[in-house]
């Protein structure tokens, strides 16, 4: 378990930044009433969606790489 914790301390900065951006989008993209007007589909561009999906995929790959050490 200690080896896993040591790996978590060395999370690449790009993953941290992607996670922060995903965190900001979590609530407003899931709930239709999170914005004062319009639906989430009207508030986000395809480019933003693709970028957020890419961040999520990178984080999942990183976590998948941690699993053998658990």
Going residue by residue through the chain (70 aa), what tens digit of pLDDT does each one get? Answer: 345 555 666 788 888 899 889 988 888 777 777 777 777 777 788 999 999 999 999 999 988 988 887 7
Distances (CA, A) of 26 to 5, 19, 31, 40, 55: 25, 10, 9, 11, 13
In DSSP notation, 21-46 reads: HHHHHHHHHH-TTSSSSS-HHHHS-H
User: How many separate domains does the chain show?
Assistant: 1
Q: What is the pLDDT of residue 6?
A: 57
Domain assignment of residue 10, given as a range: 2-69
């Amino acid at each position: 378990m200690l080896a896993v914790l040591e790996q978590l301390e060395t999370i690449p900065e790009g993953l941290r930044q992607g996670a922060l951006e995903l965190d900001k989008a979590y609530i407003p993209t899931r709930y239709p009433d999170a914005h004062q007007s319009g639906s989430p589909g009207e508030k986000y561009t395809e480019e933003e969606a693709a970028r957020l999906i890419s961040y999520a995929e990178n984080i999942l790959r990183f976590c998948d790489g941690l699993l053998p050490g658990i």
